[in-house]
């Protein structure tokens, strides 16, 4: 299912193979992405039985806090040899390593586990040939980005309800004209995808007095959910005509690809706002643009688009009722410490042969 990941909150039910733990050599954890030195040193202090390798000279430089670019070995044979030597002796990876070598991860002799810095890695795992193998186990950063993405969704709702674009136009024109706006309390929000991000969005909206309807592939009964009701995806069409805001927070799978098409956009009421903090291809972008241009949709708030980066000639850049974020709404300065906290906990579990948190279901893709 794509609405609620198939895992227990604390740990996955499936135990990780412990071949690496049983081997006589020390565990080697290769960090293939930029991390602050103090975070790595903290790991070394807490896990003295593990050798942590941080090849800083081989990493792609971070351009901003919590930036996790993949390294490259294109046209650098010596760098490729160095990476291959490191990858061949690693039991554990933090992220997937250089782009050109990711398709060879399955063949690495010692590799048992990859801790990622992202939540939505199902497409990448499929693309590099790791989806149909038990090893390496993949664990994600699920939960790290829920709060920031919920805040961005709220920002978008307030931006539309309070007519921020209009206010800025008035301010630039030095024009003082009173007008009315709307409030969020009492508005209906339909959240598609009730994983950690969707649940965080629902909680933030409910706190402001909004009515939240959750939509997921397999609704689960549970007291205390901020969404009421939580309905199956088969009932989405029935709820769309009541949605003031439609929030997309589901992962990209075969079932969610182009889930929101022209027909579903047309079912939204006049003036509704679409917010996408999930994956761009969940929405048919041409249909979204058409609905914005003809005035049916009142706005779109997009952290993701169908093809990234957004083409310079895309109409989305210039439509006045569109707020764009370059797939950065989830990135905050504290992100690395939260990712390392998950890795830290999982590393202890791995050494003890216990179930790992946030284990990717390779077949489901999330």
DSSP secondary structure string for all residues of 257-315: TT-B-HHHHHHSPTT-EEEE-S-GGGB-HHHHHHHHHTTSS-EEEES--SSSSPPTT-G
Name the H helices within the chain: 19-22, 37-46, 77-88, 122-127, 146-161, 164-172, 196-207, 236-239, 262-267, 285-293, 335-352
What angle, 0 to 180 degrees and rounded to 10, lies between the N-to-C axes of helices 335-352 and 37-46? Answer: 20
Query: Exactly one of 46, 257, 308, 352 is catalytic; which is it?
Result: 308
Residues 6+ apart with CB under 8 A from 88: 108, 109, 110
**Do residues 27 and 20 lie in contact, with contact meaning Cβ atoms separated by under 8 Å?**
yes
Closest CA to 2 of 221, 249, 246, 226: 249
- CA 252 to each of CA 119, 193, 364: distance values in angstroms, whole numbers, following the listed order: 11, 10, 10
Query: Exactly one of 76, 327, 338, 354 is catalytic; which is it?
Result: 327
Which residues make beta-bridge pairs with 232? 216
Exposed (0-12), middle (13-18) or buried (19+): which is 96, by Cβ within 10 Å?
Answer: buried
Query: Exactly one of 68, 279, 349, 357 is catalytic; which is it?
Result: 279
Sequence-separated contacts (24+) of 219-227 with Cβ below 8 Å = 219/3, 219/194, 220/4, 225/194, 225/199, 226/199, 226/202, 227/191, 227/194, 227/198, 227/199, 227/202
Is 7 among the catalytic positions? no
Is 279 among the catalytic positions? yes
Is 357 among the catalytic positions? no
Exposed (0-12), middle (13-18) or buried (19+): which is 48, by Cβ within 10 Å?
Answer: exposed
Catalytic residues: 279, 308, 327
């Amino acid at each position: 299912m794509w609405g609620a990941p198939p895992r227990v909150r604390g740990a996955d039910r499936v135990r990780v193979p412990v071949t690496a733990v049983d081997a006589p050599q020390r565990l080697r954890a290769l960090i293939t992405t930029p991390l602050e030195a103090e975070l790595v040193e903290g790991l070394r202090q807490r896990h003295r039985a593990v050798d942590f390798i941080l090849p800083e000279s081989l990493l792609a430089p971070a351009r901003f806090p919590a930036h996790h670019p993949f390294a490259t070995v294109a046209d650098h044979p010596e760098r490729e040899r160095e990476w291959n030597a490191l990858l061949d002796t690693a039991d554990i990876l933090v992220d997937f390593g250089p782009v050109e070598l990711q398709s060879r991860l399955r063949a690495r002799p010692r590799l048992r586990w990859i801790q990622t810095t992202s939540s939505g890695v199902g497409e990448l795992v499929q693309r590099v040939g790791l989806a149909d193998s038990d090893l390496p186990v993949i664990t994600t950063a699920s939960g790290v980005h829920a709060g920031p993405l919920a805040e961005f969704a709220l920002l978008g709702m307030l931006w539309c309800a309070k007519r921020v674009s209009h206010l800025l136009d008035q301010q630039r024109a030095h024009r003082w004209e009173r007008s009315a706006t709307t409030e969020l309390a009492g508005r209906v929000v339909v959240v598609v995808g009730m994983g950690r991000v969707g649940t965080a969005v629902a909680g933030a909206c409910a706190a402001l007095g909004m009515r939240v309807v959750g939509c997921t592939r397999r609704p689960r009964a549970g007291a205390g959910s901020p969404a009421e009701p939580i309905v199956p995806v088969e009932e989405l069409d029935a709820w769309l005509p009541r949605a003031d805001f439609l929030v997309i927070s589901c992962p990209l799978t075969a079932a969610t690809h182009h889930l929101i098409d022209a027909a579903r956009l047309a079912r939204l009421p006049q003036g509704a706002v679409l917010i996408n903090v999930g994956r761009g291809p969940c929405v048919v972008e041409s249909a979204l643009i058409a609905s914005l241009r003809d005035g049916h949709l009142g706005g779109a708030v997009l952290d993701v688009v169908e093809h990234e980066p957004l083409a310079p000639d895309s109409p989305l850049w210039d439509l006045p009722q569109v707020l764009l974020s370059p797939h950065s709404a989830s990135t905050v300065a504290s992100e690395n410490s939260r990712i390392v906290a998950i890795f830290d906990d999982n590393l202890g579990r791995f050494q003890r042969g216990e179930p790992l948190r946030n284990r990717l279901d390779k077949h489901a893709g999330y």
